[in-house]
Amino acid sequence: MHIANPIYDVVFKYMLEDNRVAKLFLSAIIGEDIMELDFSAQEHTVDVKPTENKERAPLTVCHFDFSAKIKTEAGLKTVIIELQKAKFLSDLMRFRRYLGVHYQNSDNIYGDKQDKARQIYCIYFLDYGMDLPPRPVLKVNYKVEDAYTGDEFPASGEFVSGLHHRSWIVQIRQLKRHRRNDLEKLLSVFDQSNVTSMQHILDVDDESFPEKYREIMRRLRKAMEDPKKRKEMEIEDDIIRELQDKERVIEDKAQTIIEMGKTIADKNKTIADNAKTLADNAKTIADMEKKIAELTKKNNLTIEK
């Protein structure tokens, strides 16, 4: 089956704008049942210099925010789900800044008599190599333990959940190697080894796709059939190329600075070595002059006798 490539932000956002699809997708990642979901996409538009024969195109970086009611044994709990997708390593600092905004946001509290912080879930989709274990999905969770004995306790309570967050990291480049469970089969829609001759389209095996997630597949197929979405993917290609070119220029300049720094360091070392040599020579000369003076004095004493 051919579907739109969700590696593109415009397709990713389109997929998540369908509330039922978003609940299915996010529930699968966090492993909990989401009963209600409110979606808010935070967008920032940056003008990118137009390429040849192209109009100026806006770069939209989307942060996906959700308020979710999750079914638990004790009842319903409301959490904030922050989902971000990155193509560049430089986005790491953006993740940190944006997480800080959530912790400071007064809307992310509940309680009638006393303010209580909502728990924050973070989901990251990474499309570049990182110093992480080579697995498609990683779960990062806090734990509470006795610092002396190492005894572990349930990580519950307002203090822990209000000041710590759980994270799920999806490494898109690791997806093609694994299909071990329903989640990895679901995330196969991001596997870029399935790309067709057109970068915007993936050819996926719908027969091996879990039946309960077929609605996600239908949503992505609908995006593929939308001419407007196809055009937006082309614009995104132009933007990404611009950003990649700029990152390469920055990397080249950084490498040049590093090499210049090394050259300067080498020159400084040479100067220091030369200065030491001069100092050693000066000491040698001083020692010789001292010996000459001593010999001269001794000879003069001998002559006088």
For the chain, what are the domain ranges?
2-225, 227-305
Of the CA atoms within 13 Å of residue 286, those in its CB half-sphere come to 6
Would you state the structure tokens that stand for residue 210, as one six-digit string?
A: 């879990």
Residue with tokens 């990642």: 29
Can you give the pLDDT of all 305 residues of the chain as single tens digits?
899 999 988 899 899 999 999 999 999 999 999 999 998 655 544 444 544 544 444 444 467 889 899 998 888 888 889 998 877 665 566 666 656 665 556 565 555 554 566 788 999 998 877 788 889 999 998 888 999 899 998 877 777 777 778 899 999 889 887 788 999 999 999 998 899 988 899 998 877 788 999 999 999 999 988 888 878 877 777 666 666 566 666 666 777 888 888 888 888 888 988 889 988 888 888 888 888 888 877 777 665 55
Give bridge partners of residue 67 from the DSSP assignment: 38, 80
Contacts of 268 (CB under 8 A, 6+ apart): none
pTM flag (> 0.85): no
Distance in angstroms (rounded) separating the CA atoms of residues 2 and 203: 5
Residue 297, amino acid: K
What's the confidence (pLDDT) of residue 12?
92
Q: What is the pLDDT of residue 70?
A: 93
Predicted local distance difference test score (pLDDT) of residue 151? 92
Do the Cβ atoms of 94 and 122 come closer than 8 Å? no
Q: Which residues contact 304 (CB under 8 A, 6 or more apart)?
A: none
Please give the Cα distance from 174 to 135 (Å, whole number): 6
DSSP string computed for 116-181: EEPEEEEEEEE-S--SS-S-SEEEE---EE-TTT--EE---SHHHHHH--EEEEEEGGGGGG---S
- By residue count, the chain amounts to 305
CA 5 centroid distance within chain: 20
